[in-house]
């Protein structure tokens, strides 16, 4: 099977708008069940696979996502290029609600997750080069595609991956800012590292839903506002990916 692009949807993106002639694929993996069936269809003249990271009803919290099964399933179906769409909080001043960012670095603060396919019994131990956690060429293509679609995106930034599902304290965000993080999310890792182990081209399209704790003017983060901002940013995703596929 030929798949031109695989998309992993985060919070707010549970199906792919505009995907036609779809088929659903439940994939048995050595690592258990995927978050949802993989939906494959036609979009912008190409074959696109979509997988809802949290399930199609947002029933899987970030620390319980079976990242290994999800990536393995997409790879086994023929995907070689993957875009991870991630809802995030903004730490840097210019990364406020509804901003779209294509990050270029990651700091991993998660714990207790299966972070490697090497964890499987008898698996080959791979020491991947993770100096650049996202595929540079694919990042550039995403940024260029957004420009062609007339959508402003921020090129570069450091994604700090936290455990979730709770949001972070002000002190935690202050530490992350000192560490050099520009964004905070809960699902960026180990997804990026697992993609690298499978030799997939992988990039992240980070949608800013809110300012992180202590970074905006609001004293308290409103969940209703988060999903309103997320809905607005998510609406731009199909246009960016259409331009990417047409390029």
* ∠ CA 42-71-45, rounded to 5°: 15
**Cβ atoms 16, 235 nearer than 8 A:** no
Q: Is 70 annotated as a binding residue?
A: no
Structural domains in the chain, CATH included, are: 5-246 (3.40.50.1580)
Q: Is 234 annotated as a binding residue?
A: no
* ∠ CA 222-52-61, rounded to 5°: 50
Going residue by residue through the chain, which has 247 residues, state the pLDDT in tens, using 9 for 90 and above.
789 999 999 998 999 999 999 999 999 999 999 999 999 999 999 999 999 999 999 999 999 999 999 999 999 999 999 999 999 999 999 999 999 999 999 999 999 999 999 987 777 888 999 999 999 999 999 999 999 999 999 999 999 999 999 999 999 999 999 999 999 999 999 999 999 999 999 999 999 999 999 998 766 677 888 889 999 999 999 999 999 999 8
Q: Is 135 annotated as a binding residue?
A: no
Specify the 3-state DSSP secondary structure of 161: strand
Q: Is 110 annotated as a binding residue?
A: no
Q: Is 64 annotated as a binding residue?
A: no
The secondary structure of 107-159 as a DSSP string is: EE---SS---GGGSTTPPP-----SS-S-HHHHHHHHHHHHHTT---EE--EE
């Amino acid at each position: 099977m030929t798949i031109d692009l695989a998309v992993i949807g985060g919070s707010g993106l549970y199906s792919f708008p505009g995907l036609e002639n779809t088929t659903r694929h439940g994939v048995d993996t050595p690592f258990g069940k995927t978050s949802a069936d993989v939906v494959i269809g036609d979009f912008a003249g190409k074959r696109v696979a979509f997988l809802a990271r949290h399930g199609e009803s947002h029933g899987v919290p970030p620390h319980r996502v079976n990242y290994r099964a999800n990536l393995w399933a997409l790879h086994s179906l023929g995907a070689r290029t993957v875009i991870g769409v991630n809802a995030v909080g903004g730490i840097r001043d210019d990364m406020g609600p509804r901003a779209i960012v294509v990050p270029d670095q990651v700091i991993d603060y998660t714990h207790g997750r299966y972070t490697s396919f090497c964890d499987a019994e008898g698996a080959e131990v791979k020491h991947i080069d993770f100096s650049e956690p996202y595929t540079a060429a694919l990042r550039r293509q995403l940024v260029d595609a957004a420009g062609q679609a007339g959508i402003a995106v921020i090129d570069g930034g450091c994604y700090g991956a936290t455990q979730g599902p709770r949001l972070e304290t002000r002190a935690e965000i202050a530490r992350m800012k000192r560490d050099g993080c520009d964004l905070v999310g809960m699902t960026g890792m180990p997804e990026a590292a697992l993609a690298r182990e499978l030799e997939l081209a992988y990039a992240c399209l980070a949608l800013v839903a809110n300012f992180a704790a202590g970074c905006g003017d609001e004293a308290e983060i409103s969940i209703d506002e988060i999903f309103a901002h997320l809905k607005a940013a998510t609406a731009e995703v199909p246009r960016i990916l259409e331009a990417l596929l047409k390029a």
